Structure 1
């Protein structure tokens, strides 16, 4: 809802089920209101004992004033509408989003002092609170605040709470709204260099295969002639066989296919928070997927469980149809925003899902023991190109003693035809991506992200 447009205040304007009755609203009396009520009752009692009519009038005034404030405020509470606007609804980790709150008064009476509070998760910052002056009948007030998170995820904002007070300070009532919004913090991504990982057959240009179209005027089999079809497309052999004019199929480019594999095993990663190996792998997988989508690949995301990441689609379903790269990128990012560790310990489900898959395979592995390294080596399809980035937990712990074992796992992958590179703390994904395109110079031992020499195992 755009502020200032006079539109319906939106879903936040609905009262919560716990709105409460007028009797329950008496619990909102402040110390001043309770004191006035008690003084009024005491004065009325004394007037009865002493027979003083004037004292009775004073007592009634003192007692009725807080009760009248409760009644008016209770009615006003349900004549105040609130709304929230979040822009943008999806931000990368470390970026800010702006939340704008709007309060509309649809009452015929002015409100008293208002305190506005929105509930936000602790990771997004402190809970915002605002104090608003009285709102005239039919008026509105707008306030805004910013939220920011270094951790990806989906975070609810709301519900909105509004505390109202009367002009005399006799009563305070809280209005709760039922609606909330969701802020999606997607993984941080980096632009990658436009290198050729799979040789001439990868990406676009000469490497694109041609295949029959699947629908419309380019069916996979010759079809009947339709008004407006080019007569040069008439398939005379099929025309003679069917006894009617048939149009031959046309071929169109088939997009190169790529699978991005993300190892989410809890036991394969080290650390927590933005600096952990798992978060590095998620961010790297997002960067690779976006880069490949931009280069014209049809991208599939898989986890070690063998499930396709986006959504409930079956493994093998690729995303990124022509003219839909932006939608595919958004879907992949939102899914990766919520991906969590798996409790599995084996890569065999992913191996089963990759059987029969061709094209380019880009994998981000956690720690690999001897058995898992052998399973990972078998994931490379016959004639396919496989690039693996291995995040050894020992390297992320800063333990140099495990360097020999990690190098042996890399050698197993390279022997199976993989381009295998180690990725340690502080590793630069664009630099690793550039090394994956060709042998290049060996990285010096001990360099950040390169615990050993010979990081690139040949041209991908």
Structure 2
């Protein structure tokens, strides 16, 4: 990722006025001494003193003009690699300064603006840059908090060798660093579900259908000539071939509860951040296993693909969908909703596929509503967090109340797992795979 700023000519009265405003205390002193020497030379009739005054007054003015011209003949480029990193990982920022004029520059001082969560503002000092020359500097940024952070604009400060003038230029270009949640690899476990992923579930072969049901496509280099559909070729006037066998990809929905009232605490080790990281880990794991996946929140918003139901497709589209879902999880925050009714409306009519939910604190009414979220012919796995335990308040009421709500979910066909602080998510994932299947479900690998 790169951006740049084109230099300008810097001409006009406004430019000269801006250059004079950059006079330092030393520069203003030189100018005042030159004017005073000129007045005294006129009153006393001393031509030698007049020459000294002209020199003192002209030196800061000449430095201001030279720096002003240099200021608009320096171009910058920023390269951010990579543009998307997990929380706790580093990204490298490379700054390139190009002197597009034939004249050398003076001393250059660079400062890039970065949010405080990424670290202190990087500052660099560059010595003289020859005409047409280039200098490169780099620094690293890191954040333990997910989010989208602007980098830039770059500030360039120039000064002359005498310290008479100091000018600052702010470039307009900036980059955005996306810090996505931490993820961890998950083992392949057998969850209760109807299909097990790409190629292992139900398939339908268009190539084996009758001639009237065939949906052909244009011939591509490398296609087997035995798959040419001659009737369509005669109809369209070009070679047409039967489409390959199209497997029906298993579907999965990852539900993330973002209600503010369902969580306590804040920071990278809070319950909500654990739920976001868990959802991100499951999404990537399911995409790697060949599932069509979508991300759903309690607000009813779904992210996945552009097709029906916002489920991701395969191939490159699956990678793009993963990027969209990770970008959403990078900035997702708490909602002001009081329940899961909107998620229930979004899931209404779903007949198949896995449902994996990350739920915060649930009262009795929300437990009954969550029980209705379970698809009719698929698996439903819930990771239920105990906010009191995550807030360090100890088990307290949660020892009985949370377990009772988990049992209620299990009675309605859910595989419910209690997510306690300190437990690795991979272990909870295995626990979900070892749990007995709910009523009306069959096994499948995920």
Shorter-chain TM-score category? 0.7 to 0.9
Aligned with residue 310 of structure 2, among 301, 307, 317 = 317
Given that residues 292 and 314 in structure 2 are in contact (C-alpha distance below 8 angstroms), is that contact kept between their aligned partners in structure 1? Answer: yes
Aligned with residue 418 of structure 2, among 414, 422, 434 = 422
Given that residues 384 and 419 in structure 2 are in contact (C-alpha distance below 8 angstroms), is that contact kept between their aligned partners in structure 1? Answer: yes
Alignment coverage as a number of residue pairs: 422
Aligned with residue 155 of structure 1, among 137, 149, 158 = 149
Deviation at 1:220, TM superposition (A): 9.1
User: 2:16 and 2:324 mapped to 1: Cα distance?
Assistant: 48
Deviation at 1:210, TM superposition (A): 1.4
**Corresponding residue number in structure 2 for 1:142:** 136
Given that residues 98 and 135 in structure 2 are in contact (C-alpha distance below 8 angstroms), is that contact kept between their aligned partners in structure 1? Answer: yes
Q: Structure 1 stretches (4+) deviating beyond 4 angstroms?
A: 14-17, 217-220, 223-235, 246-251
Aligned with residue 427 of structure 2, among 410, 431, 454 = 431
What does residue range 57-206 of structure 1 map to in structure 2 within 5 Å? 57-199=51-193, 201-204=195-198
User: 2:182 and 2:61 mapped to 1: Cα distance?
Assistant: 56
Deviation at 1:234, TM superposition (A): 8.8
**Corresponding residue number in structure 1 for 2:439:** none
What does residue range 234-313 of structure 1 map to in structure 2 within 5 Å? 251-310=245-304
| Structure with greater contact order relative to length (CA < 8 Å, sep ≥ 6) | 2
Given that residues 159 and 178 in structure 1 are in contact (C-alpha distance below 8 angstroms), is that contact kept between their aligned partners in structure 2? Answer: yes
Unmatched segments (≥5 aa) in structure 2 = 232-239, 437-441
User: 1:160 and 1:231 mapped to 2: Cα distance?
Assistant: 58
SS across alignment from 2:120? coil
**Corresponding residue number in structure 2 for 1:446:** none
TM-score (norm 1): 0.84
Q: Deviations over 1:387-409 (max 9, x none)?
A: 00001211212332122111111
Residue 414 and residue 109 in structure 1: after superposition, are their counterparts in 2 closer, same or farther (change >3 A)? same
Q: Deviations over 1:93-149 (max 9, x none)?
A: 100011111111122322111110000000000000111111111111111111000
User: 1:388 and 1:315 mapped to 2: Cα distance?
Assistant: 25
2:341 paired with 1:348: yes
Aligned with residue 406 of structure 2, among 397, 406, 410 = 410
Deviation at 1:225, TM superposition (A): 11
**Corresponding residue number in structure 2 for 1:221:** 213
Given that residues 261 and 361 in structure 1 are in contact (C-alpha distance below 8 angstroms), is that contact kept between their aligned partners in structure 2? Answer: yes
Residue 223 and residue 316 in structure 1: after superposition, are their counterparts in 2 closer, same or farther (change >3 A)? closer
**Corresponding residue number in structure 1 for 2:396:** 401
Residue 30 and residue 395 in structure 1: after superposition, are their counterparts in 2 closer, same or farther (change >3 A)? same
SS across alignment from 1:60? helix
Q: Deviations over 1:261-288 (max 9, x none)?
A: 0111111111111011111111000100
Residue 161 and residue 197 in structure 1: after superposition, are their counterparts in 2 closer, same or farther (change >3 A)? same
User: 1:224 and 1:139 mapped to 2: Cα distance?
Assistant: 58
**Corresponding residue number in structure 1 for 2:235:** none
TM-score (norm 2): 0.87
User: 1:144 and 1:232 mapped to 2: Cα distance?
Assistant: 56
Given that residues 14 and 178 in structure 1 are in contact (C-alpha distance below 8 angstroms), is that contact kept between their aligned partners in structure 2? Answer: no
Given that residues 385 and 418 in structure 1 are in contact (C-alpha distance below 8 angstroms), is that contact kept between their aligned partners in structure 2? Answer: yes
User: 1:120 and 1:73 mapped to 2: Cα distance?
Assistant: 26
